[in-house]
Structure 1
Amino acid sequence: MSEKNISEHVSGCGEWYSLPGPLSDVVCSTRVRLARNLADFPFPGHFKSDDPVRVQTLIFDAFLKSEKADSYQALAVAGIDPLNAGLLIERGLIQPSTLNSPGGGLVMRINGKKANSGLVCTINDEDHVRISCFCSGLDCDTAFENCLEVDELLQKSLQFAASYDFGYLTANVKDCGSGMKLSARVHLPAMAFLDEIGPFFESIVSKGVVAGPAFSSFVKAGAGIGNFYQLSSNQAGTGSELEQLINFTAVLKQTVEFERKCRESIIRSRATEITDRIVKGFSVAKFSLLLDLREALMIISDIKLGKALGLLKGVDDSSLTPLIYRVQESHLKTVIKSGNFNFPPDISENTEKQTERLRALIIQDTFENLELIK
């Protein structure tokens, strides 16, 4: 895959991001990840000699020799330029560590000429292969089914390391067993507004779910920008895949229920405060000339909450979720690089301000039909 192809596959809105999903007013997206390692090879952290290349070749060949070879695109990550690397990272398709991994690789499922960036396999990061599928809203079952399809495809020609006592063997002992990690990005502004985030997150730890900020690079001490958080399972060794899916889905439904109750409480007892916040977010979205990433994510959060509370109309969640990715740095720089923009003279040589200007324009364009409900 060429550098141009990378941009074509991931710079636009991935199809799944734009699809409506169950309970998407709270659950933005769901991800299922299966970690697998080849038998007779050490984990990537203990590779020797030509192990990285051999593992990468074996996994690439397994896809290329499969009956659905045309549905997958393989890519060695060595030599990817920083801009395209940023695109892949912002989409969640790879971790920064993958770029520096010997024999690092990426396999994306494609439909025709367009990538379905909802399913991706990373090669030689912490494990030999990690199969991940993303779905809009709360949809663990679909994500798992897609991952399982790829897992079964690979096992037709590869032998994965496993034991009767420990299940699938992984580099991180916490992933041993099913090798499965479940995660979801959730939007919890009402819990945060009522200072319920901490107690709620503590209550789900006993259920095998941990929580943290969704955008950890831009936050302080546990607070999530725009009140976006990530919930993740941490019990791959407990129960079957089905039991783990049921448990995680139940916790997500509990999260949705409590967040909605908090929203009802706010609109009932603190309507003036929350309406003021939504109106301010509306104004900033409509009239700002420059926006940094933190400001943009806060706007998206406020608009998403305002829609859920019935204070705004003219936008839906299937537009808001892609916007989270469209306002990221590498995505904006890719748009600037591929387009012909006439920026004001005072920022014509300032790439940071150009990015902030384009971010504001994208926000305004997305919310062109946004209206306050009086």
Structure 2
Amino acid sequence: MSTVGIKETMNSAKSGWMAGGGPEGDILISSRVRVARNLKGYAYPHLLDQEKAEQVIHAVQLALDSQAIKSRLDELETIRMSELSPVERQILVEKHLISPNLLEEYSKKAVVLQDDEVISIMINEEDHLRIQCLLPGLQLEKAWALVNQIDDGLENTLDYAFSEKFGYLTACPTNTGTGMRASVMLHLPGLVLVDQVGAVLTTVSKLGFTVRGLYGEGTEALGNLFQLSNQVTMGHSEQEIINSLNSVTGQILAQEREARKALMQQRKDQLEDKMGRSYGILKYAHMISSEEAMRRISDVRMGVDLQLIDGLTAEQLTELMVMTRPAYLAKEGNNKLDPLRRDILRAEIIRNKLNKGG
């Protein structure tokens, strides 16, 4: 990746998917669609030696340089994971541009980023290719259309591992078929406050969807943020997966809005106090932990959405969630922060953001 491109990615907490104004953006933070693809004739990434891994990266780079791709996309930059520092690699995870898996055996891996960071292509993750589109609000259809364009363009050059019986072949059997995972990131403080989120998410799981935390499998639902994605890819078309996720998401959106309405009608004073206290702490605290920051930012975001707090946007608060994560703070502190200094710097960044309105 060019020096300017990588510098901008690392120095800015913003990404295209954080832009405000997306459909259902008061509750739905982002929509993501990614497809898994593998190259015929190569072992899956976890079995590749360094030479074969380099061959895969080279083959993908040649395909990305083809006219079939360049006519479909804005400027793309390829970054080898070995060219980045540990902190820089973690920042890409915190911005949701790559998965934590891409940090393992990173010398064999790379990522391709579009300049607005809406498109990312992971090379030699669990599969040879993970093509991802991340958009603000509820935009699964658009995300799939963009991913499909890239996939079609790459397939003009690359020979994918495909079975007429099973579909696209993947390292994990649960991805075999379409290879698609569609997901939405939901902010559900209302359902948490009325103690209904557990029941809602249990029901969703029974319908064939997976619920995860902020950074995917095995992570916590920090800041009342939940990722909802399809569990099965085989036997369902891409459009069926999108339609099903849209339907379930619509039901959760309705339930969250009902919860917020009930809170405003029955507990408005307590709600205003909770939002106001969190806003005050964020604006004036001089030390704050990562967990508390996420919780307080969630409160303030709900206050903004319910028009109980003025002068802030959801986009600013989403950006703050990234700015207060460990890797971003480590970069700001030149990798010399003990836990206490990290909490102090986190509070300073939040104060500056909220008190200057930037």
TM-score in terms of structure 2 length: 0.91
| 1:120 shift after superposition | 0.4
| 1:218 shift after superposition | 10
Task: Out of 68-77 and 163-172, give the one that drifted further.
Answer: 68-77
Task: Out of 80-89 and 154-163, give the one that drifted further.
Answer: 80-89
SS at match of 1:312: coil
- What are structure 2's unaligned runs of at least 5 residues? none
Matched, 1:62 2:63: yes
| 1:140 shift after superposition | 0.6
8 Å Cα contact 1:218/1:225 also seen in 2: no
2:103 aligns to what? 99
SS at match of 1:133: strand
Residue type of the partner of 1:92? H
Q: 1:367 aligns with which of 333, 337, 354?
A: 354
Q: Distance in 1 between matches of 2:337 and 2:86?
A: 19
* Distance 1:203-1:163 versus aligned 2 partners, 3 A rule: same
- What are structure 1's unaligned runs of at least 5 residues? 110-114, 339-348
2:262 aligns to what? 265
| 1:174 shift after superposition | 0.8
Matched, 1:86 2:86: no
Task: Out of 127-136 and 193-202, give the one that drifted further.
Answer: 193-202
Q: Distance in 2 between matches of 1:81 and 1:337?
A: 12
What is the alpha-carbon root mean square deviation over aligned residues?
A: 2.4
| 1:52 shift after superposition | 1.3
Q: Distance in 1 between matches of 2:50 and 2:131?
A: 25
SS at match of 1:368: helix
Residue type of the partner of 2:212? G
User: Structure 1, residues 26-69: CA drift from partner, whole Å, max 9, x if none?
Assistant: 11111111100011212112335732121111111111233555
Matched, 1:71 2:75: yes
1:192 aligns to what? 192
Q: Distance in 1 between matches of 2:216 and 2:37?
A: 27
Task: Out of 69-78 and 294-303, give the one that drifted further.
Answer: 69-78
SS at match of 1:116: coil
Residue type of the partner of 1:64? D
SS at match of 1:34: strand
SS at match of 2:301: helix
| 1:99 shift after superposition | 2.8
2:274 aligns to what? 277
* Distance 1:217-1:286 versus aligned 2 partners, 3 A rule: farther
1:39 aligns to what? 40
Residue type of the partner of 1:14? S
8 Å Cα contact 1:314/1:367 also seen in 2: no
SS at match of 2:288: coil
TM-score in terms of structure 1 length: 0.87
Count of matched residue positions in the alignment of Structure 1 and Structure 2? 352
* Distance 1:49-1:187 versus aligned 2 partners, 3 A rule: closer
Q: Distance in 2 between matches of 1:130 and 1:218?
A: 19
Q: How does 1:244-323 map to 2 (within 5 A)?
A: 244-323=241-320
Matched, 1:228 2:232: no
Residue type of the partner of 2:280? S
Q: Distance in 1 between matches of 2:354 and 2:218?
A: 24
SS at match of 1:304: helix
Q: Distance in 1 between matches of 2:218 and 2:66?
A: 42
User: Structure 1, residues 301-333: CA drift from partner, whole Å, max 9, x if none?
Assistant: 000111223321111212222221121122223
| 1:143 shift after superposition | 1.2
1:341 aligns to what? none
Task: Out of 129-138 and 44-53, give the one that drifted further.
Answer: 44-53
SS at match of 2:158: coil
2:344 aligns to what? 357
